Amino acid sequence: MKEGFRQAMAWLHTWAGLIFGWLLFAIFLTGTLAYFKDEITHWMQPEVQAHPLDDGRSLAVAQSYLQQQAPTAASWFITLPNSRDPGLSVMWQDKVEPGKRGTFIQKILDPVSGQPVQARDSKGGEFFYRFHFQLQMPYPWGRWLSTIAAMVMFVALITGIITHKKIFKDFFTFRPRKGQRSWLDGHNAVGVLVLPFHLMITYSSLVIFMSMVMPAPIMASYGDDSRAFFKELFPNTDNAPALGQPGQLLPLLPMYQQAREQWAGGHVGRVAVNNPGDVNASVNVFRAGSDSVVHDFGNTVSFSGTTGELLRVSGEPSLPAVIGGSFYGLHMGHFAGPVLRWLYFICGLAGTAMIGTGLVIWLGKRQLKHAKSAAMPFELRLVEVLNIASMAGLMIAIAAFFWANRLLPVSFAARSDWEVQAFFVAWGLSLLHAMLRRARRGWVEQLSIGALLFMAIPLLNAITTTQHLGVSLLNGDWAMAGFDLTCLASGVFLAWAAWKMQRRTASQPKAERARGLTLKQEAG
């Protein structure tokens, strides 16, 4: 009975893992990249220079710019620069008749000169972040598909734990250079050792889309009016309407300082001003997400814009909000400093590696049975092609995205869309290539192309911008330098993988020939 149960779980693990493995690999890898979303954006918009941080100067600069450009806007949003994202972002919404939503206009300012920076049009790291849960599909299909994938991932984790017979006995075991055995060892090692992260990231992703996946409790209490639910959950942006009389907005800096006092020195992430030109102007100061592990959806201090009077301080969140917020916060990792952020990144890579090794094992086991026949059955060939395109091909696609960022002219129309196109075109080509080439050759060639593309990125950056490694390292621009160095390291890793694969390809025919020889001798 027990063995039957374990076998059933193994079956589920095998097939759930296979069907969703390719998608989960892409979700995990792009999600891992999203931990460095701001740094990637910084690299992809090199026109935005990094300056030493000074919130007072940034606020003053942003306020005077908005006062000039959009005195009658419905609202302003000022996002302050931080150590990860050096740009001072201002956004405003045009005033339109009530009931309609005005268009948003966003500019990035230089926090010292106050002039808008003509940054190239690029989605930057936001692309990976969006892709990892929307999958470039129209709303809400991508979110549904990625949520289903997360559920399957959760099932695969649980069944994997049940299937794994000797978690504690094999805890420290990894035996390299033993073919299938090594793949399984590696799959188990990254699975078990980083299990807390896998469970956290998978479960929290379900919590994040809770209201989409399980809307029944909200519907039961609020009926069809789900807006009422969210209004009650996030009350802090409920501000007084405009009176229609012109008013003078006070400087924002004193309010910023008062808010920080309220939070015992906590940091400010964003400042929003409603009806900036009106008597009834109000200012909401939002706390930075990097201040606490528990994500708080609206930790704000509100002021009257014309009198400077403190209107409201958001209260302590309730216990369920803290629990929900901590899963949200743990998943996003906004609170993580540089070291912890790298650990998050490594954990994400470990998750990606777990999925990748799983896919390789699935195929390897079944290929053994057909090692002697010349042609592989169609379904194995299909899995093989998809393995190559979803792993090596995705790496090429990511590199192509970065290359497109540097090679497309800055004035190109719909430039950021073309960067995304480059990503998908490269991915599609790799699929085509995998179909045309024989398995091992396909792997070796795609890994080599990926290695070349990644290793050349620091060079490309040096040729096309003024911020090559020498400059960024000297200026202490760690986001820029770290990106170049990480690309270089990824390239070296891919080259190593290609070399390993090449060596195995070279040794295999020899072994086969040797076997053929002995058979002939026996026959003779």
Sole binder of other proteins in the list 189, 273, 301, 481 (CB under 8 A) = 189
CA–CA separation, 132 and 281 (whole Å) = 38
10 Å CB burial of residue 117 (0-12, 13-18, 19+) is: middle
- Of 329 and 442, CB closest to other proteins: 329
Q: Distance from first CA to last CA of the chain, Å, rounded?
A: 50
Buried b or exposed e, range 8-43, using 16+ CB within 10 angstroms: ebbebbbebbbebbbbbbbbbbbbbbbbbbbbbbbb
Residue number, 126 or 291, with CB nearest to other proteins: 291
Going from the C-alpha of 439 to that of each of 380, 381, 435, 449, 492, the distances in angstroms are 11, 8, 9, 16, 22
Stretch that binds other proteins, among 189-197, 223-231, 493-501, 503-511 (CB under 8 A): 189-197
In three-state secondary structure terms, 302 is strand
- Check residue 278 and report its DSSP letter: B
Which residues within the stretch 347-406 sit at the binding site for other proteins (CB under 8 A)?
347, 350
- Angstrom CA distances, 6 to 37, 162, 171, 175, stand at 40, 7, 19, 24
Footprint (CB under 8 A) of other proteins, residues 311-340: 326, 330, 335, 339-340
Give me 71's structure tokens. 């005195």
In whole angstroms, how close is the CB of 197 to other proteins at the nearest point? 6
- The stretch near other proteins (CB under 8 A) out of 15-23, 73-81, 114-122, 191-199 is 191-199
Residues 208-247 within binding reach of other proteins (CB under 8 A): none
Q: Which of 162, 193, 425, 456 binds other proteins (CB under 8 A)?
A: 193
Out of 9, 194, 301, 480, the only residue in the binding site for other proteins (CB under 8 A) is: 194
Cα(113)–Cα(118) distance, rounded to whole angstroms?
13
Q: Which is nearer to other proteins, 176 or 315 (CB)?
A: 176
Among 131, 344, 402, 483, binds other proteins (CB under 8 A): 344
With tokens 């995205």, the residue in question is 401
Decide whether 137 or 293 has the Cβ nearer to other proteins: 293
Output the CA–CA distances (angstroms, integers) from residue 85 to 106, 133, 243, 456, in the order listed: 15, 22, 36, 24
The DSSP code sequence of 114-141 is -PBP------THHHHHHHHHHTT--TTH
Q: Which is nearer to other proteins, 174 or 424 (CB)?
A: 174
Q: Is 286 helix (H, G, I), strand (E, B) or coil?
A: strand
| Whether the Cβ atoms of residue 264 and residue 76 lie closer than 8 Å to each other | no
Least distance from C-beta 465 to other proteins, angstroms? 34
* 22 versus 327: smaller Cβ distance to other proteins: 327
Residues in contact with other proteins, counted by CB under 8 A, come to a total of: 26
Give the one residue of 4, 99, 138, 196 binding other proteins; rule: CB under 8 A. 196
Among 165, 172, 409, 510, binds other proteins (CB under 8 A): 172
Which residue among 144, 183, 197, 229 contacts other proteins (CB under 8 A)?
197
Nearest residue to 501 via CA among 435, 438, 432, 441: 441
Verify binding: residue 265, other proteins, rule CB under 8 A.
no
Q: Which of 19, 29, 350 is nearest to 191 (CA)?
A: 350
Q: Residue 99, interface with other proteins (CB under 8 A)?
A: no
The stretch near other proteins (CB under 8 A) out of 22-30, 167-175, 377-385, 502-510 is 167-175
Nearer to other proteins, 292 or 421 (CB): 292
Asked if omega into 377 is within 30° of 0 (cis), the reply is: no
Q: Which is nearer to other proteins, 119 or 195 (CB)?
A: 195
Q: Contact letters (x/-) for other proteins, 278-317, by CB under 8 A? A: --------------xxx-----------------------
- Is residue 38 a contact partner of residue 479, using CB atoms and an 8 Å limit? yes
- The distance of closest approach from Cβ of residue 29 to other proteins in the complex, given in angstroms and rounded to an integer, is 18
**Smaller CB separation from other proteins, 262 or 326:** 326
Give the length of the chain: 524
Question: Is residue 44 within 8 Å of 50, Cβ to Cβ?
Answer: no
Judged by beta carbon, residue 416 or residue 486, the one nearer other proteins is 486
Pairing of strands 310-313, 300-304: antiparallel
Please state the closest distance from residue 194 (CB atom) to other proteins, in A: 5
- The amino acid at residue 422 is A
173 binds other proteins, rule: CB under 8 A = yes
Shortest Å, Cβ 167 to other proteins? 13
The piece of 100-108, 245-253, 268-276, 345-353 that touches other proteins (CB under 8 A) is 345-353
- Going by C-beta distance under 8 Å and a sequence separation of 6 or more, which residues neighbour residue 425? 400
C-alpha 260/C-alpha 283 separation (Å) is 14
Nearer Cβ to other proteins, position 173 or 464? 173
What gap in Å lies between CA 18 and CA 160, rounded to an integer? 13
Segment near other proteins (CB under 8 A), from 113-121, 192-200, 218-226, 356-364? Answer: 192-200
Question: In this complex, which beta carbon is closest to other proteins, that of residue 145 or of residue 343?
Answer: 343
Residues of this chain, 56-85, that bind other proteins according to CB under 8 A = none
Q: Which residues bind to other proteins, rule: CB under 8 A? A: 169, 171-176, 189-190, 193-194, 196-197, 292-294, 326, 330, 335, 339-340, 343-344, 346-347, 350
